[in-house]
Chains A and B, each alone.
Chain A
Amino acid sequence: MLSEANQRRVEELRKRYPTSQALVLPVLWIVQEQEGYISEDSMKYIGTLLNVPFGHILGVVTFYTMLQKKAVGKHHIEVCTNISCMLRGSGKILEHLEKRLGVNAGETSPDQRWTLSEAECMGSCGTAPMIAIGDEYYENLTLEKVDKLIDSLR
């Protein structure tokens, strides 16, 4: 299931940890990078690969919010609404995005283009309000900046 390059990454990782169970999180990341989300089949595969019961893998996947259990849209937009962002207008950013994209927080658009989520503090308090799309942070946002960004992603 893993690409050859990713299988090599797993083998490299094995040298770094004394148990194979410690590879659960790193391998879940690799699978999510490759597949976009972590399906039940992937969890079974990882269980076999690392000699860890499926139930354990499921337990880990359901614990961490960044591990996706189902496919997300092409662009996963996360809006921080924690207090530093809230004090600087993240509520308006979220509201605007909901209107603009036609989805509520926590939903994916029918065309699978957008997933919109409300997120907890992402460590961008000095550049609030902010959103994250994948690994990329967009900071010091205004509604105009958000519009430009969405236009560029369309």
Chain B
Amino acid sequence: MNLRPVDTEKLTTWTPIILPDVRGLHKIDYYIANGGYKGLRKALEMKPEDVIDEVKKSNLRGRGGACFPTGLKWSFMPKNSGRPKYLCVNGDESEPGTFKDRQIFEFNPHLLVEGTLIACYAMGIMSAYIYIRGEYGKWIHMLQKAVDDAYAQGLIGEKILGTDFSTHITIHRGAGAYICGEESSLMNSIEGERGYPRVRPPFPAQVGLWGCPTTINNVETISNIPFIINHGWEWYSKIGTPKHPGPILVGVSGHVNNPGVFEMPTGEPLLEIIYKWAGGIPGNHGIKAVIPGGSSTMILRGDQLEGVRMDADSLKAAGSSVGTAGIIVMDSTTDLIQVITRIARFYYHESCGQCTPCREGTGWMFKILRRFEQHRASIEDIDLLMDIANNIEGNTICALGDAAAWPVQSMIRRFRDEFEKRVEVSQKKALVV
């Protein structure tokens, strides 16, 4: 996989900072020699509320899909509640098409550790859990090594760097459940429960892990923190798009010549990412469709990509969202019925079963889509499918229901012709038989 395309220089003046081209950076000595843990030292000299303020002013928005302003989230944490507070770092990374956090665990794990420590200091947290999906066994070991080394150097634990600040970091291994990437489900999973999402309110900042104030941030989000502290909010807020600034890890997969994770400022043109960064489409086929931010985000037609940029607002205006910035490209030969059936099967498999609309609806959608796939569908099935999707959306405890509905809704809205063609072909086939 290409972390850094050879001709990056030609594409952008951006020099990667989250995944920089430094060999051996995963080792603590190399990390420190390259300016690592400077952000932590600087933060420890600041007042905690000033650290939060800095993050607020930077306009950093969460990289886990919801784009929520990170500093604002931090400011929700009560100051003197008398209860323990917790930080959960979300490395469940299970959204199909997403493979960015994995690069951080492998190539820059200390950046994540440093960001976690700064977050803990800012919010007065003494215990952080980094939740990593169970399949990432190899990467869990890599991050554990980084955490162990940081403990050995007095960067984690009691009285960090000789200050009064103490905090612990524990890596918690998931066990194969997409839903555990949902923040409240993640907390239940850490507590040793089935990974069922919780009803909100109360929000985690009031009632989170073990009933205590808790903040949940994505791995990539936390990895941005050291830079904000090191270089200041002004520097950070000028990277990329003002309303959604910063470097972003964009994963490109599917029908491209050069798939991989690319670090770039937000707001790069989607077509440029596909054709230049990811090397274009094999066989010079056209683009039929693109899923811009992981399988939950609404699918875009190949002919509506002009002018669309990789940031929250531009993708929203285009009728989709930036999600986890996992772009999946489908060339003109792709069978979109097969694609959407596979996506629907995924959500059917991953629905936790707590809410009826999602538990039943995801199965119904999959079965109807399978009818299309197997040439057994009728034209009425298109509206039936839309009706089910509409009745899941907004009617569940967590966003998995929405995430299951959106791909189906957008596929019907933007590619109704594909469904109609399928039924037509099916009818002809039936006549031949």
Contacts and interface: CB of A to CB of B under 8 A. Distances in A.
Chains A and B come from one and the same complex: yes
A25 B260 contact: no
B151 interface: no
B215 to A, nearest CB: 17
Interface in B344-374: 346, 349-350, 352
A19 B342 contact: no
A59 B255 CA distance: 40
Contacts of A56: 192
B343 interface: yes
B259 A127 contact: yes
A142 interface: no
Contacts of B193: 21, 60
Contacts of A63: 177, 194-195, 352
Interface in B80-101: 84, 93-99, 101
Given A64-B175, A125-B259, A59 B253 contact: no
Given A66-B135, A82-B346, A87-B254, A124 B99 contact: yes
A2 interface: no
Interface stretch (B15-23, B49-57, B62-70, B326-334): B326-334
Contact of B178 (A29, A120, A124): A120
A135 B133 CA distance: 12
Interface stretch (B165-173, B267-275, B313-321, B392-400): B165-173
Interface string A76-105: 000001111011100000000000000000
B137 A134 contact: yes
Nearest to A62: B194
Nearest to B352: A63
A126 B99 contact: yes
Interface in B166-225: 168, 170, 172-178, 189-195, 210
Nearest to A78: B135
A132 to B, nearest CB: 7
A125 B192 CA distance: 30
Contacts of B176: 64-67
B307 to A, nearest CB: 25
B134 A66 contact: yes
B98 A125 contact: yes
B253 to A, nearest CB: 4
Contacts of B255: 87-88
25 contacts: A23-B192, A24-B192, A25-B175, A25-B190, A25-B192, A28-B175, A29-B134, A29-B175, A60-B192, A60-B194, A64-B177, A67-B176, A82-B346, A83-B291, A83-B295, A83-B328, A84-B328, A87-B253, A87-B330, A120-B346, A125-B96, A128-B259, A135-B138, A139-B1, A140-B1
Interface of A: 16-19, 21-26, 28-29, 50, 52, 56, 59-60, 63-67, 81-84, 86-88, 119-128, 132, 134-137, 139-140
